[in-house]
Structure 1
Amino acid sequence: MKTAAIIGGGVIGGGWAARFALMGWDVRIFDTDPEAERKIGEVMANGRRTLPMLYDTQMPPCGAISYHATVAEAVKGAQWIQESVPERLSIKNAVFAEIAQNADADALIGSSTSGYKPSELQENQGSFASRIMVAHPFNPVYLLPLVELVPSSKNPPEYVEKAKEILTSIGMYPLHVRSEIDAHIADRFLESVWREALWLVKDGVATTEEIDNSIRYGFGLRWAQMGLFETYRVAGGEAGMKHFMAQFGPCLEWPWSRLTDVPEFTEELVDLIADQSDAQSGDKSIRELETLRDDNLVAMMRALKQQGAAAGKSLIEHENTLRAPLPETVPLITQSRTVPVDWTDVNGHMNEGRYGQVFSDASEELMTHIGADRAYIAAGNSYFTAETTIRYLNETHAGEGFSVATRVLLGEGKKLQLYHEMRRDVDQELLATCDQFLLHVSLETRKSCPPLPEVEARLAKLAAAHKKV
């Protein structure tokens, strides 16, 4: 069994715990906070609700989470150890020394630090220093895939590659930062934007809400899909990046920003920002804001997934590693997944059109099972749906796990009839059924025809097995 140790809970440590556990790892946690189990449990609940919404395939069984009284006990048997203690180098170095004395010899250690360089973390750690590197995530860790992986010259390439492999296996996108630099890459951008925003509030130019709106209604949407440089490449028109830089490069010499200057954090400035922030979103609790944030992230990442772009591309790649051939059961379990938040309507339940999507996905899985897969379609053959009858029996809500059982009622020649039952995981309540009739067609003539022999044989075998039930 794969085991991860989380040293230091809180928002980031709890997010790591949720990410590892929901991807099938056992998680061992050490945290000195007496409320750690409650706090991490709440983060885990957020992750358990939303992470499965990203995937259109079955998630691995959730790993066990346990809490331990000492670092030594928590790291025992762990292949990956994630340190997320407060940002004080003395605390981190002391924790690493304790980890080194008790961890398995082949364990790798990642630090969630946003500011320290790996060489600073490795000081006085002896031979164990080679296993310590920065693995800096972004909140919420259980949803956002980026992790800045920063090694030093003390980390052998094979350890770095192993770290990438582990992080990728849990759905993260490890960005290998090849040079040690304060605050790595992403936080340097964030700090620059944050500094400029503080001046805009202090100087009375804009409120906290107006600044947030300038991001979320504008360039934030472009950055989510294209980042910085590709956004500006497009802004250059047909002439591309060279034209953009020639046109806007001189602006860099103009005194537009105050990035090299820092406003003093006076009590007045802190109160001003806090008051504006309260007016902006103080009517919602932190948990309500987390739910809104997570639901928005799921919807946006699923949209990027549909387009195969940015974070959606890495999500597709990870989802493909989770897919497994359908087991030879009767009926076949063709879907086992979670209802995503973008499938619900104003009534709060799953839109009727999405039931069609569920049953379409179920039939696609059956097609793959009998060999009528993408390669088969690319060669000019496919099944087209001629008729469906869907019965809506119960409400289905976002975050609910469900499965679809599919039976082959008819599989003769060019005719295929399927019967699907959709059930809620928690109570096996029947949610909807679908009777689906399909015809095999030639994509060249767009007319019905018999399937190729190998597909026809697999389908006949399946139909015979299902007919016995």
Structure 2
Amino acid sequence: MSNKHIRQVAIIGTGVIGASWAALFLAKGLDVVATDIAPDAETSLKRFVETAWPALERLGLTPGASLLRLSFTADLAEAVKGADLVQENGPERIDFKQKLYGQLDELLPADVIIASSSSGLTMSEIQLGCPSHPERCVIGHPFNPPHLIPLVEIVGGAKTSMETIKRVEKFYTSLGKKTVRLNKEVPGHVANRLQAALAREVYHLVAEDVVSAADVDTALCWGPGLRWGIMGQLVLNHLGGGHGGIEHFFQQFTGPMTAWWKVLGVPVLTPEVQKKLIEGVHAEVGTRSIDELAAERDEILLGLLELRKAADEEDEQRVA
């Protein structure tokens, strides 16, 4: 495995995800060169990073972390010059990505990893545009916002090398990320598929007037959502089985649970259903703006992250 340290990261695409990645990389003491051809992209990026910085300070900056280590250029070749890793956040269009990866293949040394934040496209498709060194291309899909949410899904394509997967996993882990490695490609990866399954039933319940938009959100965030912020579904099933654990859980609940599966909804998002959902959401959020909602989310999220960090440190002390 290459021992090359990742000290400089190139960010391609500085929308919501790219800007959030940039903030995280800077907080971890890395040099970041960002590129985007959108008008006012540099101004928007710097505004986002400055706004995110207090939260990152609260979580703890790496020595040497500085906003001054961020630079911007609209020129792709200049942006990736000297990069040890490229975090690509371009549009979810396979033609765009394949063309971009062809350019990167020509511009970058063979040992520079190209990681895509793509939430749905497969790396096997994307890396077809990278003929010389497809082995260094990998999915590194974050969860929004990446500077706060620890999850990164790592997915290799048909031609991705195991060395690349191990290197990128080591890199993300060094940033404090929680990585999951997919053993095979599936559309939407893992976390978005889980969200999609839940969203399908949420939309069905509202569309069928079983519950209002506000009440279905309450049921989620004040019920299972609180537990999911602590443990995953399978461990929670283990707890749900009492002292008999997961074995007793399946003995007790397999029948009822699989019976519910048979009556789960398959909603069609017609204009009428969308209108009902949209009206329900606006009634739920009231006068709160998108920025206000995001701030509320992030403040509570920071508290949860701090609590989990303290719990992890206590666990480490007990083990030591």
Q: TM-score normalized by structure 2? A: 0.90
C-alpha deviation, 1:197, in angstroms: 0.8
Distance 2:121 2:185 in 1: 9
Q: Which residue of 1 aligns with 2:23?
A: 18
Q: Residues 143 and 278 from structure 1, CA distance in 2 versus in 1: closer, same or farther, beyond 3 angstroms?
A: same
Structure in which a larger fraction of residues adopt strand: 1
C-alpha deviation, 1:288, in angstroms: 1.6
3-state SS of paired residue (1:201)? helix
C-alpha deviation, 1:258, in angstroms: 5.8
Which is higher, the Rg of structure 1 or of structure 2?
A: 1
Q: Which residue of 1 aligns with 2:312?
A: 308
Equivalent of 1:204, from 199, 203, 209? Answer: 209
**In 2, are the aligned partners of 1:77 and 1:104 still within 8 Å (CA)?**
no
- Runs of at least 5 residues in structure 2 that lack an aligned partner in the other structure: 1-5
Q: Which residue of 1 aligns with 2:3?
A: none
**In 2, are the aligned partners of 1:196 and 1:258 still within 8 Å (CA)?**
no
3-state SS of paired residue (1:104)? coil
Distance 2:250 2:260 in 1: 18
**In 1, are the aligned partners of 2:138 and 2:164 still within 8 Å (CA)?**
no
Equivalent of 1:122, from 127, 130, 153? Answer: 127
Q: Which residue of 2 aligns with 1:133?
A: 138
Superposed, which structure 2 residues align to 1:161-200 within 5 Å? Answer: 161-200=166-205
Q: Does 1:88 align with 2:90?
A: no
Distance 2:147 2:84 in 1: 19
Q: Does 1:112 align with 2:117?
A: yes
Q: Does 1:75 align with 2:80?
A: yes
Q: Which residue of 2 aligns with 1:219?
A: 224
Structure in which a larger fraction of residues adopt helix: 2
C-alpha deviation, 1:105, in angstroms: 2.8
**In 1, are the aligned partners of 2:117 and 2:140 still within 8 Å (CA)?**
yes
3-state SS of paired residue (1:120)? helix
**In 1, are the aligned partners of 2:105 and 2:130 still within 8 Å (CA)?**
yes
Query: How many matched pairs?
Result: 312
**In 2, are the aligned partners of 1:149 and 1:176 still within 8 Å (CA)?**
yes
C-alpha deviation, 1:255, in angstroms: 4.5
Q: Does 1:283 align with 2:287?
A: yes
**In 1, are the aligned partners of 2:105 and 2:131 still within 8 Å (CA)?**
no
Q: Which residue of 2 aligns with 1:292?
A: 296
Equivalent of 1:44, from 43, 49, 55? Answer: 49
- Runs of at least 5 residues in structure 1 that lack an aligned partner in the other structure: 317-373, 379-469
C-alpha deviation, 1:107, in angstroms: 0.9
C-alpha deviation, 1:274, in angstroms: 1.6
**In 1, are the aligned partners of 2:201 and 2:265 still within 8 Å (CA)?**
no
Q: TM-score normalized by structure 1? A: 0.63
Q: Which residue of 1 aligns with 2:234?
A: 229
Distance 1:187 1:294 in 2: 20
Equivalent of 1:34, from 23, 35, 39? Answer: 39
CA RMSD of aligned residues (A): 2.2
C-alpha deviation, 1:248, in angstroms: 1.0
C-alpha deviation, 1:189, in angstroms: 0.5
